[in-house]
Amino acid sequence: MQLGLVGLGKMGANMRTRIAAAGHEVVGYDPRSELSDVASLAELVARLEGPRVVWLMVPHGDPTRHSVVELAGLLAKGDVVVDGGNSRFTDDRPNADLLGAKGIGYVDCGVSGGVWGLENGYALMVGGADDDVAKVMPVFDALRPAGPRENGFVHVGPVGAGHYAKMVHNGIEYGLMQAYAEGYELLQAEPLIQDVTGTLKAWTQGTVVRSWLLDLLVRALEEDPELAEISDYTTDSGEGRWTVEEGVRHAVPLHVISAALFARFGSRQESSPALKAVSALRNQFGGHAMVDQQGRTVGETAAPRE
Amino acid sequence: MQLGLVGLGKMGANMRTRIAAAGHEVVGYDPRSELSDVASLAELVARLEGPRVVWLMVPHGDPTRHSVVELAGLLAKGDVVVDGGNSRFTDDRPNADLLGAKGIGYVDCGVSGGVWGLENGYALMVGGADDDVAKVMPVFDALRPAGPRENGFVHVGPVGAGHYAKMVHNGIEYGLMQAYAEGYELLQAEPLIQDVTGTLKAWTQGTVVRSWLLDLLVRALEEDPELAEISDYTTDSGEGRWTVEEGVRHAVPLHVISAALFARFGSRQESSPALKAVSALRNQFGGHAMVDQQGRTVGETAAPRE
Amino acid sequence: MQLGLVGLGKMGANMRTRIAAAGHEVVGYDPRSELSDVASLAELVARLEGPRVVWLMVPHGDPTRHSVVELAGLLAKGDVVVDGGNSRFTDDRPNADLLGAKGIGYVDCGVSGGVWGLENGYALMVGGADDDVAKVMPVFDALRPAGPRENGFVHVGPVGAGHYAKMVHNGIEYGLMQAYAEGYELLQAEPLIQDVTGTLKAWTQGTVVRSWLLDLLVRALEEDPELAEISDYTTDSGEGRWTVEEGVRHAVPLHVISAALFARFGSRQESSPALKAVSALRNQFGGHAMVDQQGRTVGETAAPRE
Amino acid sequence: MQLGLVGLGKMGANMRTRIAAAGHEVVGYDPRSELSDVASLAELVARLEGPRVVWLMVPHGDPTRHSVVELAGLLAKGDVVVDGGNSRFTDDRPNADLLGAKGIGYVDCGVSGGVWGLENGYALMVGGADDDVAKVMPVFDALRPAGPRENGFVHVGPVGAGHYAKMVHNGIEYGLMQAYAEGYELLQAEPLIQDVTGTLKAWTQGTVVRSWLLDLLVRALEEDPELAEISDYTTDSGEGRWTVEEGVRHAVPLHVISAALFARFGSRQESSPALKAVSALRNQFGGHAMVDQQGRTVGETAAPRE
């Protein structure tokens, strides 16, 4: 089949390669003309035969919205737009309604796989109407990992469900990464542990904690055993925040996922206003015995203890 | 080689099968005579030729200590005792010293793999002196997963290091499980998500969160999609507690691992004394608007709000 | 001065009493006619001389919005509406704009004090323009605690700032209550502690943790030392949720406040879906040694440990 | 009555002043001869008439233990030793047993109040036998705040109970301080809030969150509104750690208290090994859209998102 693909950054370009390798024709558009097959969205639409499928791989928020608005004016009844970006699920319903008013279908698709997706396939979480999803299925089959469709592809529910599932996926990812990270920190703090990387590597087979993330952590440590070239400044993609907000909305206790998110927030602070306030309080009620990292009291306190 | 194996519960019995399948001779002892090859530890020791290796697969704490004490009186210089149980790492040094005073070696070995280890192999984290570890290596090679030794086996450091690594492994496991569990709870709380099990199953290929634990969660949900037969009462094996205590000792912030442990504690309470205190406080300063699970105010409050 | 007061529930009625006691004339409206001085908002407005001040003490969300919309059609240029309810700060700007289009001022006022405010005075956090705040100042002075104005009253900033401050106040309150509650639970779990209530009571003087909340907790325990009549089912007023959402928006790590909120969520679950998932996972990889509440292994595990 | 007081640091010196002001005779010993009334513990004991009461105000751990051991050789049957320091409760039983073997009584006393105790009185939490406690009561009455004995003094239970209660007190204190600190950080992050100090000051009267700690925070901010002179490096006294360990031992979920402790740990790290691991993982699976502090995507990501 034909596919219009909007957004040819690294992720989009990789996906294009994988889709084309499955025998489909991909017409790509990107505002960077050196990456683009066509000069405009209008030209992209003109190049496709109906019913058309146009897949957006564009930053979430305004860029995605603008693309949807423009496509609403270009596409025809029976065409389908797929938002494969990391949009918030609450953006999907308005996009679907705008397009739906013209008879154009809308499918939201959470895509997981990162740089490894080109080779391994991308996991796809899809929301939308059955017939819209069906129109895109050949592309989904090209993108997803080889093997049974249900391992790597799911039609989660109506419009919004795909991005919702991807959001939860990323929230879980925050928690998993922080769990490994805390264990790593504890291993490297303990003098008995003379081979941190080797320990993690041993865990990659036969253990309960084996996973792809663990494989990646071992890979990172084999490249840089002290993580000396790595900053602890950790950004967040927005999806961790939305997950916590959904936990709040549904009254679901997300102790672990929120702790992982807050740890990232903390990593970006040069100093913590909150801990300055704690320090200020302690100064107010009198000094404290100093305790070293092993919990031993070191030196006498000049001021009264609390 | 020959191995004396003490403790023939399900775990010990499975390990025995795997060791024997590799061509080694296993003499097993268990206080349950129907499971045991010999009538006593003394008989077990007598059945082995020196240098002997005796592997303990016994509950941690007193049972393991008693076995070590008894073996210290039975074994000879050059023999080695392996504690393959889930002992706290602080138990290892005293055991090693007791045996070392008689020239008997001591190796602590964290074993991961559960019921699946028989088939997949067990991951092994080992602490002890090089020559003691070397004497046990044929057994380690029999137990560990097939493939390169470093994937599934590690000599972590001196006595205690093996159990320390296993403890951290289990602490991480707590965090991982809770992360998946929170994501699962959020998925099942959201009406858009019409196929929770299918979503998790799709994640098993191509995603960042794919792992063996995720495979198991899908397996559990395929058996019982609503987890209707499962209680939320969750015990803990001790290793999660020790991990948090080590975080406290080393001043390592374990936000996620401790949250996972505390969630298990909470699951075992019929009612929470702490939350009763919160309720009591709220009653004291005047009622509250009732908010439903979606965060909407429901009904007027009779009493002043705070 | 004159004040129109809308909403004569327990909170509103108490505030009316305190305002009237300071010599002001309060005209009250409530849809419950038996509580109301007037039959309608229109009549309330007609009873006040300009420039009028109308104070809303109405549930947040739609009820407050409807009152504002109706008042926008009844009031005149130079009048002021005060929202003294627990509105989300994001509701304030739209309300202010609606009224401002007609020259009507808007002040948002967070009110703290609960049932005790009638006697002790209410703490007031105010947002709005200086001249609007000035028009209401006699009422603020009547409501706030005796003593210097700055202890109990603050003009925090522009429209929205008052409710923002109140929201943060309540978020802190969640954290404080949970901190006392956890300490209480630990005291009552430890056999050495033979007088939990007496311990908390001793803390009410001279300690670092003395506070009004502690006084209330002692009061609750003196009435019911086992909290036997108290359920641990704990609702939340919405402000704790908004506080966490603001922490997420501003990338402020709110470890403690979010943990307190999530503990309340947990208290409302008959069983935890997340912990059911944890249990299901543990069943999948083989049983566990049972550990009792003191961390001692109790009974042998039938299945392999992990 | 007479009291022997060992340890004349700032805390001990202040307590001595308050005890002497109540008409008791205090004989003080400190290894710093310029602070000391006597040259040795032996001389101190010689200066007191029996039954003697000797109060230790010495750093916990070895210094306190050494004092107890020495006093066991100097005191006589019927004398009493009070440990008023911040000892771990597990130290009390061994101390009591050592002294008890010679007929010497032992009382553990948690003391709260910091530098303010001299003026306000100290809150006292006491563990020990009734008759031992009775012998010290005049000193307790001198130290505690004026007013009813039960507000500021409690005989909590047997030996160890006093330090246990003080430990929990300090654990709660960690949680309270962190709750205020998080609220402070959120206030200062929000542009609507134009008067952070004024807001906190307004809360000191009439609110649910009013407390002595809040008074101190306002005091600190009035001295230094930006906390510009305050480092966020926050030590811990040991008691927060012990509280978390007790929570682990008793299976009491301490979400808030542990989060407060871990926040302090984090404040002492130049960079977080755990967050370096998170960063390393993110690098492995492909870059991320950068999100600024307001959650807006800033700049395009070069690498695929996850």
Per-residue pLDDT of chain D (306 residues), as tens digits, is 999 999 999 999 999 999 999 999 999 999 999 999 999 999 999 999 989 999 999 999 999 999 999 999 999 999 999 999 999 999 999 999 999 999 999 999 999 988 889 999 999 999 999 999 999 999 999 999 999 999 999 999 999 999 999 999 999 999 999 999 999 999 999 999 999 999 999 999 999 999 999 999 999 999 999 999 999 999 887 999 999 999 999 999 999 999 999 999 999 999 999 999 999 999 998 744 334 444 444 333 333 334
Same domain, D213 and D238: yes
Given D135, D157, D179, the domain boundary residue is: D157
Interchain contact, A157 vs B246, CB within 8 Å: no
Q: Which pLDDT value is given to residue A265?
A: 97
Among A127, A186, A262, beta carbon nearest to B247:
A186
Residue from D265, D269, D281 to probe the interface with B (highest B Cβ count within 10 Å): D265
Contacts for D276 with CB less than 8 Å, ≥ 6 apart: A227, A230, A231, A232
B302 pLDDT exceeds 90? no
Interchain contact, A246 vs B186, CB within 8 Å: yes
Residue from A14, A116, A234 to probe the interface with D (highest D Cβ count within 10 Å): A234
List the Cα angle A52/A114/A125 in 5-degree steps. 50
Neighbours of chain A (3+ CB pairs under 8 A): B, C, D
**Domain range for residue D234?**
167-267
What strands, in cross-sheet order, belong to the sheet with C53-56?
C25-29, C2-6, C53-56, C80-83, C105-112, C123-127, C153-157
Give the integer Cα–Cα distance in Å for C257 and C244.
7
A114 pLDDT exceeds 90? no
Size of interface C-D (CB pairs under 8 A): 313
In D, which residues are within 8 Å of C157 by CB distance?
192-195
Q: Which pLDDT value is given to residue C290?
A: 39
HSE of D79 in the Cβ direction (CA atoms, 13 Å)? 24
Same domain, C6 and C151: yes
Same domain, B171 and B137: no
Residue B285 lies in a domain: no
Amino acid at A62: D
Neighbours of chain D (3+ CB pairs under 8 A): A, B, C
Give the integer Cα–Cα distance in Å for B9 and A188.
34
Residue from B192, B216, B264 to probe the interface with A (highest A Cβ count within 10 Å): B192
Residue D92 lies in a domain: yes
In C, which residues are within 8 Å of A251 by CB distance?
265, 268
Interchain contact, A248 vs C244, CB within 8 Å: yes
Interchain contact, D213 vs A304, CB within 8 Å: no
The overall average pLDDT reported for chain A is 93
**Which CATH number goes with the domain that contains C91?**
3.40.50.720
Q: How many domains does chain C have?
A: 2
Residue A290 lies in a domain: no
Pair D125, D89: CB distance under 8 Å: no
Pair C206, D121: CB distance under 8 Å: yes
Looking at B43, B102, B166, B190, which residue is catalytic?
Answer: B166
The overall average pLDDT reported for chain B is 93
Give the integer Cα–Cα distance in Å for A251 and D206.
30
Nearest residue of C to residue B303 by CA position? C10
Among D208, D252, D258, beta carbon nearest to B258:
D258
Q: Which residues of D are catalytic?
A: 166, 173
Both tokens assigned to D294: 């307001």
B298 pLDDT exceeds 90? no
Amino acid at C45: V
Give the integer Cα–Cα distance in Å for C240 and D245.
28
In D, which residues are within 8 Å of A115 by CB distance?
285-286, 303-304
| Predicted confidence (pLDDT) per residue in A199-237, tens digit | 999 999 999 999 999 999 999 999 999 999 999 999 887
| Predicted confidence (pLDDT) per residue in B169-181, tens digit | 999 999 999 999 9
A289 pLDDT exceeds 70? no
Amino acid at A160: G
Same domain, C26 and C153: yes
Q: Which pLDDT value is given to residue C102?
A: 98
Beta strands A53-56 and A80-83: pairing type?
parallel
How close, in Å, is residue A56 to chain B by CA atoms?
A: 20
Interchain contact, A248 vs C254, CB within 8 Å: no
Same domain, A131 and A46: yes
Amino acid at C17: T
| Predicted confidence (pLDDT) per residue in C228-268, tens digit | 999 999 988 799 999 999 999 999 999 999 999 999 999 99
Pair C106, C96: CB distance under 8 Å: yes
Residue A229 lies in a domain: yes
Pair A170, A163: CB distance under 8 Å: no
Chain centroid offset of residue B202 CA:
28
End-to-end CA distance of chain B: 73
Amino acid at A107: V
Give the integer Cα–Cα distance in Å for B143 and B120.
9
Size of interface A-D (CB pairs under 8 A): 273
In C, which residues are within 8 Å of A274 by CB distance?
252-253
In B, which residues are within 8 Å of C295 by CB distance?
238, 241
Where does the pLDDT of residue A302 fall: very low under 50, low under 70, confident under 90, or very high at 90 and above?
Answer: very low
Which residues face C28 on adjacent strands? Answer: C5
In A, which residues are within 8 Å of C259 by CB distance?
255
Same domain, C136 and C252: no
Which residues face C56 on adjacent strands? Answer: C6, C83
Beta strands A2-6 and A25-29: pairing type?
parallel
Secondary structure (DSSP) of D117-184: HHHH--EEEEES-HHHHHHHHHHHHHHSPSS-TTTTEEEEESTTHHHHHHHHHHHHHHHHHHHHHHHH
Nearest residue of B to residue D285 by CA position? B208
Q: Which pLDDT value is given to residue D305?
A: 39
Class of residue B131 by CB neighbours under 10 A (exposed 0-12, middle 13-18, buried 19+): exposed
Interchain contact, D253 vs B244, CB within 8 Å: no
Among A117, A170, A279, beta carbon nearest to D231:
A279
Q: Which pLDDT value is given to residue C292?
A: 42
Residue B132 lies in a domain: yes
Same domain, B85 and B129: yes
Pair C111, C123: CB distance under 8 Å: yes
Same domain, D152 and D206: no
Q: Which of A194, A212, A190, A210 is nearest to A202 (CA)?
A: A210
In B, which residues are within 8 Å of D245 by CB distance?
245, 248
Give the integer Cα–Cα distance in Å for A232 and A225.
15
Helix-helix angle C161-189:D255-267, to 10 degrees: 110
Interchain contact, C248 vs A253, CB within 8 Å: no
Give the integer Cα–Cα distance in Å for D267 and D235.
8
pTM for this prediction:
0.94
Cα dihedral across residues C42, C47, C52, C53: positive or negative? negative
Q: Which pLDDT value is given to residue B115?
A: 85
Longest CA–CA span in chain C (Å) reads 82
In C, which residues are within 8 Å of B170 by CB distance?
306
Pair D155, C195: CB distance under 8 Å: yes
B296 pLDDT exceeds 50? no
Residue A173 lies in a domain: yes
Q: Which pLDDT value is given to residue A47?
A: 98
Same domain, B250 and B215: yes
Interchain contact, B266 vs D244, CB within 8 Å: no
Q: Which pLDDT value is given to residue C303?
A: 34
How close, in Å, is residue B68 to chain A by CA atoms?
A: 22
Full 3-state SS string of A153-216:
EEEEECCCHHHHHHHHHHHHHHHHHHHHHHHHHHHHHCCCCCCHHHHHHHCCCCCCCCEHHHHH
Both tokens assigned to B42: 């003394």
Where does the pLDDT of residue B101 fall: very low under 50, low under 70, confident under 90, or very high at 90 and above?
Answer: very high
Both tokens assigned to C82: 């005060």
Residues of A with CB under 8 A from a CB of C: 208, 241, 244-245, 247-249, 251-255, 258-259, 261-263, 265-266, 268, 272, 274, 285, 306
Interchain contact, A295 vs B248, CB within 8 Å: yes
Q: H or E element: which one contains B82? A: strand B80-83
Same domain, A214 and A257: yes
What count of residues does chain D have? 306
Give the integer Cα–Cα distance in Å for A241 and D206.
34
Look at phi and psi of residue A230 and say left if phi exceeds 0, alpha if psi is from -120 to 50, else beta: beta
Q: Which pLDDT value is given to residue A18?
A: 97
Q: Which pLDDT value is given to residue B206?
A: 94
Interchain contact, B164 vs A243, CB within 8 Å: no
φ, ψ dihedrals at D291, nearest 5°: -120, 130
Pair B292, C236: CB distance under 8 Å: no
Average the pLDDT over B273-292 and give the result: 77
Among A207, A212, A252, beta carbon nearest to B189:
A252
Nearest residue of A to residue D169 by CA position? A306
Bond from prior residue into A145 cis (ω within 30 degrees of 0)? no
Same domain, B83 and B123: yes
Residue from B237, B290, B292 to probe the interface with C (highest C Cβ count within 10 Å): B237
Per-residue pLDDT of chain C (306 residues), as tens digits, is 999 999 999 999 999 999 999 999 999 999 999 999 999 999 999 999 989 999 999 999 999 999 999 999 999 999 999 999 999 999 999 999 999 999 999 999 999 988 889 999 999 999 999 999 999 999 999 999 999 999 999 999 999 999 999 999 999 999 999 999 999 999 999 999 999 999 999 999 999 999 999 999 999 999 999 999 999 999 887 999 999 999 999 999 999 999 999 999 999 999 999 999 999 999 998 744 334 444 444 333 333 334
In D, which residues are within 8 Å of B274 by CB distance?
252-253
**DSSP label of D81:** E
Interchain contact, B295 vs C9, CB within 8 Å: no
Chain centroid offset of residue A44 CA:
28
Q: H or E element: which one contains B144? A: none
Q: How far, CA to CA in Å, does A100 sit from each of A73, A87, A130, A159?
A: 12, 18, 14, 11
Given B125, B157, B189, the domain boundary residue is: B157
Interchain contact, D255 vs B261, CB within 8 Å: no
Size of interface B-D (CB pairs under 8 A): 49
Interchain contact, B255 vs D259, CB within 8 Å: yes
Both tokens assigned to C119: 């006697």
Amino acid at A116: W
Q: Which of B110, B173, B117, B108 is nearest to B145 (CA)?
A: B117
Residue A261 lies in a domain: yes
Same domain, A135 and A194: no
Q: How far, CA to CA in Å, does B288 sit from each of B181, C86, C182, C237?
A: 31, 11, 22, 6
Interchain contact, B207 vs A294, CB within 8 Å: no
**Which CATH number goes with the domain that contains C210?**
1.10.1040.10
Helix residue ranges per DSSP H, chain D: 10-21, 41-47, 62-72, 92-100, 117-120, 130-143, 161-189, 196-202, 212-223, 239-250, 255-267, 273-285
| Predicted confidence (pLDDT) per residue in B27-60, tens digit | 999 999 999 999 999 999 999 998 999 999 999 9
What strands, in cross-sheet order, belong to the sheet with D105-112?
D25-29, D2-6, D53-56, D80-83, D105-112, D123-127, D153-157
Residue A292 lies in a domain: no
